[in-house]
Amino acid sequence: MSFLPEPAFDHGSTPAIGVLLCNLGTPDAPTASAVRRYLAQFLSDPRVIEIPKLAWWPILHGIILRTRPAKSAQKYASIWTKEGSPLMVWTERQAKLLQGRLGEQGHRVIVRHAMRYGNPSIASQLDALRAAGATRVLVLPAYPQYSGATTASVIDEVARWSLAHRHVPEFRFVNRYHDDPRYIEALADSVRAHWKSEGRGDLLVMSFHGMPARTLTLGDPYHCECLKTGRLLAEALRLSEAQYKVTFQSRFGKARWLEPYTEPTLRTLAEGGLKSVDLVCPGFSADCIETLEEIDMEAREAFLHAGGQRFSYIPCLNDRPAHIRALAAVAEQHLQGWPTTTTPDATALARQREAAQMSGASR
């Protein structure tokens, strides 16, 4: 087996330390062809689809990738911005703000963002960190709750990149922060701010991304961690059990998923006489198609059509200062023991390497 050449390393310098903020991913454009490329990568991951390849491949390539991209592209187009995909915009901004926050705290690290599926890829950003002299990398998946389909898939991709390299950096991984007090307080702060400006509904619905129900019986902790996040958020907001409800969205396929499902629950609530509802998505660190289109458009329409009178979506944490502080605190906890307070000269050299690498890539 041959390994890729390693970047030149100045043995007289202090090695750099990197932080890689990873989110799920997004198509490069709201077009059928771009969505097809994205879905092909996403739905080919055995962590996401736990069906034997021989059975799944004909369905994926013979049906899904022929019919779904055009429909999904229309949905992406409905939430696309002038800057691009909302998920990409927010994640890139989070990485820059995280770099600044950690710098204010005295940590001299290089923060980059990556997408598990799509661009910029985890591999390309790890290449950039290595070229900048990073010999230690903290991988921070933007998933507060651990799941094999998300967090573990990021770990898989980092391991896959490592297989091709001779000098593998020292890695640390943040597996979860679903019950971190600063994350919970950031969520509570966002809900309070929304209530203050928009008013308060009769019920707070906390919608998390769904997973097949069988993952719970197979030992995935995701369901339990979602429920704990919901309970802690309710406690921070001083809500009784009757004042909030945890649901799960984004069901795919015909199998049973974690329940209760978000949209059917909203319809049932409206049909039962509930007039106003607030909805927050605590498991999403940044607004994306699942929150902006599936929730703020489709779920809103379902609730209002069933008799509800007011549906208020509370945006994700995105670049809220409390969110960045929470991410920085989580990163600090996992950076302990690494020499993040390097000398200014060493830090400047690492930044110069990164700038040179980026300049070369743009030519």
Binding-site residues for Fe(2+), in ranges, read 209, 290
The Cα–Cα gap between 120 and 55 comes to 30
State CA 357 to chain mean position distance. Answer: 26
The Cα–Cα gap between 131 and 133 comes to 5
Question: Phi and psi (nearest 5°) for 22?
Answer: -115, 130
Please give the DSSP secondary-structure letter assigned to residue 243.
Answer: G
Length of the chain: 363
Neighbouring residues of 272: CB distance < 8 A, sequence distance ≥ 6: none
Query: What are the strands, taking DSSP E only, across the chain?
Result: 16-26, 110-118, 134-141, 170-173, 203-209, 244-249, 276-280, 310-314
Other beta carbons within 10 angstroms of residue 322's beta carbon come to: 17
Question: What is the identity of the amino acid at 14?
Answer: T
Here the tokens at position 196 are: 């203050």
The Cα–Cα gap between 174 and 301 comes to 37
Find tokens 């204010």 and name the residue: 104
The Cα–Cα gap between 222 and 54 comes to 28
CA-to-CA separations, 175 to 221, 226, 277, in angstroms, rounded: 11, 14, 32
Annotated binding residues, written as ranges, equal: 209, 290
3-state helix, strand, coil in the chain (%, to 5): 50, 15, 35
Neighbouring residues of 53: CB distance < 8 A, sequence distance ≥ 6: 46
The Cα–Cα gap between 155 and 157 comes to 5
